[in-house]
Structure 1
Amino acid sequence: MRPLLYLFFLASFLSFSQSSTTVDDKASILEVLAIQEKAWNNLDVELFMETYWKSDELIFYGSSGVTKGWQNTLERYKKSYPTKEHFGKLHLTSNEITKIDNGIYSVFGEYHLTRTVGNTKGIFMLVLKNIDGAWKIIADTSCKTE
C-alpha cells in the first residue's frame, strides 16, 4: 500500500510541477509580447527586434513574402515603417499560447495598429523558443486582415 501511496504523491507532484512550469512559461511569453508592444509604441524598432532570435535562421512570413534572418527582418521593419506616423500605436492580443515541446510554444493572436496614415489590423502566429534562458521568436507569420 505504501508504494502505491508514494507513487500517487510523486505523480501528483510531477503533474503540478509541469503545470506550474507551463504557467510560468506562458507568463514569460506574455512578457515578450509586452516588451514588443512597449518598444513599438516608443518607436524603438531595435528593442522590438531584441525579442527575435538573432540568427540567419529566423523566419518572418508577411504580406510581402518570406524574410529570412534577423538582420533582414530588421531592415524589412525599418523599410515598412519609416516614420512615426507609420509606427502608430500597437496593441497586441494573445488568443492562445500552446506548448509544442519543452521550451517551444506557439502564440496565436491579433495586432491592431492605430495610426494617422491609416489604421491596420491583422493576425499573427509566433513560434517562441527558450534559448539560453530567454524566450525568443524563431518564426513569425503575420497577416493583415484590414
Structure 2
Amino acid sequence: MKNKLYTLLALGMLSISACQPSQRTEVATTQDIDAAAVRQVLEEQAACWSAGDLECYMQGYWKSDSLLFIGSRGLTYGWQQTLDNYKRGYPDVSAMGKLAFDLKEFRQLSPETMLVVGKWHLQRDAEKGDLEGHFSVIFRKFPEGWRVIADHSS
C-alpha cells in the first residue's frame, strides 16, 4: 500500500511538472535595460558622426564644463572644448568618415553609472586612410537619459 501511495505521488509530481514550461522565461533586469539604453546612445552617436554632424554626435555627452575627455593630446575638460577639438581634428565629412563601434563590455558601476569598453573604427577614403582604436567611457544616468561623463579614447 505504501509503495502504491509513493507511486501515485511521484506520478502526480511528474504530471504537474510536465505542465510547467521547461525553460524559465528570461526577465530583463534593470542592468539589461540600462545597457540597452546606453547602447542606443552609442548607436545614435555613430549615426550622427557618420552623417558629418558633430553637434548631433555631442548630444551623447554630458553638456557640462566637468565633462572629461582623455585622448592622444591629453586631458580636455568641458563639453564645448571637446566639441571644438573634434571640429579642429575632423574639419569635414571626408575627415570624419563612417564611425562604427565594436562594444566589448558593459559594467554597471552603480544604478546611475556604467562603464563601456570597446573599439572604434573610422572608415575613410583611401587618401585619408582608416583610423581605429579603443575606448572606455563612463555613462551617467540623468533625467534626460544616459550621457557620457568621461571618455578615454586612444
Shared fold (TM-score, shorter chain, > 0.5): yes
Q: Which residue of 1 aligns with 2:139?
A: 128
Describe how 1:16-27 pairs up with structure 2 within 5 A: 20-27=29-36
The share of aligned pairs that are identical, in percent, is 37
Aligned partner letter, 1:104: T
Runs of at least 4 residues off by over 2 Å: none
Q: 2:151 aligned with 1:140, yes or no?
A: yes
Gapped runs of 5+ residues in structure 2? 1-25
Structure 2 residue matching 1:72: 3-state secondary structure: helix
Q: Which residue of 2 aligns with 1:85?
A: 94
Aligned partner letter, 1:136: R
Per-residue deviation, residues 68-87 of structure 1 (Å, max 9, x unmatched): 00000000000000011110
> What is the aligned residue count?
127
Per-residue deviation, residues 72-107 of structure 1 (Å, max 9, x unmatched): 000000000001111011111110000001110000
Aligned partner letter, 1:126: V
For residue 64 of structure 1, the aligned residue among 65, 73, 83 is 73
Q: Of the two, which has the highest radius of gyration?
A: 2
User: When the two structures are superposed, what TM-score results if normalisation uses the length of structure 2?
Assistant: 0.80
Describe how 1:18-57 pairs up with structure 2 within 5 A: 20-57=29-66
User: When the two structures are superposed, what TM-score results if normalisation uses the length of structure 1?
Assistant: 0.84
Gapped runs of 5+ residues in structure 1? 1-15
Per-residue deviation, residues 29-71 of structure 1 (Å, max 9, x unmatched): 1001101100001101001000000000000000111110000
Cα root mean square deviation, aligned: 1.3
For 1:41 and 1:64, the matched residues in 2 are separated by 23
Q: Which residue of 2 aligns with 1:98?
A: 107
Aligned partner letter, 1:131: F
Structure 2 residue matching 1:43: 3-state secondary structure: coil
Aligned partner letter, 1:40: W
**TM-fit CA distance, 1:133:** 4.0
For 2:51 and 2:75, the matched residues in 1 are separated by 26
